[in-house]
């Protein structure tokens, strides 16, 4: 699995992925200026090799089956409204594992 696999799946579904330094950010729509608009989702592989699904760091879920990464991200994005809450049905379908957000905070130096 790679960021490119996620990007290709999102593009094929008609969404707008952007490759960031840390992973892939995808929105369902863009505005007239080309900026991504909510809802959007972020997926990345962390330093432990886990694939993580998040929305601006409020909720973090591990996608336990690497082959499910594009499908889980796409289905979660489609299920979101503008409040950008994670769908319990999608969490259950893909057996997503909730993670502590504090695990992903960076320490100030």
- Considering Cα of 99, then 105, then 106, then 108, what sign does the dihedral take? negative
Domain ranges of the chain: 3-104
One digit per residue, the tens of pLDDT, for the chain of length 109 reads 899 999 999 899 888 888 888 888 887 777 788 777 778 888 999 989 999 999 876 789 999 998 999 999 999 988 887 677 888 999 999 999 999 988 887 654 4
List all residues 6 or more positions away from 63 whose beta carbon is below 8 Å from its beta carbon.
Answer: 43, 50, 51, 52, 53, 69, 72, 73, 94, 96
pLDDT at 109: 44
Residue with tokens 């962390």: 46
pLDDT at 57: 66
Distance of alpha carbon 58 from alpha carbon 4, whole angstroms: 24
Distance of alpha carbon 30 from alpha carbon 70, whole angstroms: 20
Q: Could you tell me if 72 and 38 are in contact, meaning their C-beta atoms sit under 8 angstroms apart?
A: no
Q: Taking the model in full, what pTM does it have?
A: 0.84
pLDDT at 107: 52
């Amino acid at each position: 699995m790679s960021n490119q696999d996620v990007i290709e799946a999102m593009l094929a579904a008609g969404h707008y992925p952007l490759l960031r330094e840390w992973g892939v950010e995808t929105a369902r729509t863009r505005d007239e200026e080309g900026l991504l608009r909510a809802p959007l989702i972020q997926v990345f592989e962390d330093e432990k090799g886990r694939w993580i699904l998040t929305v601006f760091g409020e909720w973090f879920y591990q996608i336990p089956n690497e082959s499910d990464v594009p499908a889980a991200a796409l289905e979660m994005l489609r299920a979101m409204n503008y409040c950008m809450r994670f769908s319990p049905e999608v969490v259950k379908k893909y057996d997503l594992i909730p993670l502590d957000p504090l695990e992903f905070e960076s320490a100030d130096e």
